[in-house]
């Protein structure tokens, strides 16, 4: 692997961190812990909101899709919706 490729991947650390949290949440859901896993997935999305809010656009990497306001609004809505759904929906029996 060329060093430039590795540097490009590590520059995307905010997205990699969010994806790691969401992946752990998905594994927990697959292990029959629905509520814990979906709350963790919602936490990962809320982490994306926090990182997008505080990091400059040059560091945010692929978390930057549109304008900061639109990204925050979209991710915030998705994170809050996921959290509310995970707390309201009864776990499978």
The model's pTM: 0.88
| pLDDT tens for each residue of 18-72 | 999 999 999 999 998 989 999 999 999 999 999 999 999 889 889 999 999 999 9
The dihedral through the CA atoms of 52, 56, 62, 65 has a sign that is positive
CA–CA dist 12, 52 (Å, integer) = 12
Q: Are 64 and 31 in contact (CB under 8 A)?
A: no
Q: Which residue has the tokens 């814990």?
A: 36
Q: What is the pLDDT of residue 91?
A: 66
Predicted local confidence at residue 6, as pLDDT? 81
Q: Which one, of 7, 23, 79, 90, lies nearest residue 48 by Cα? A: 79
């Amino acid at each position: 692997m060329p060093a430039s490729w590795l540097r490009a991947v590590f520059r995307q650390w905010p997205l990699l961190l969010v994806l790691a949290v969401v992946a752990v949440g998905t594994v927990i859901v697959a292990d029959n812990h629905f509520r814990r896993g979906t709350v963790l997935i919602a936490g990962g999305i809320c982490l994306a909101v926090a990182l997008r809010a505080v990091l400059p656009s040059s560091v945010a990497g692929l978390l930057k899709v549109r304008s900061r306001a639109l990204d925050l609004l979209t991710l915030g809505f998705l994170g809050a919706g996921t959290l509310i759904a995970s707390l309201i929906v009864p776990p499978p029996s």
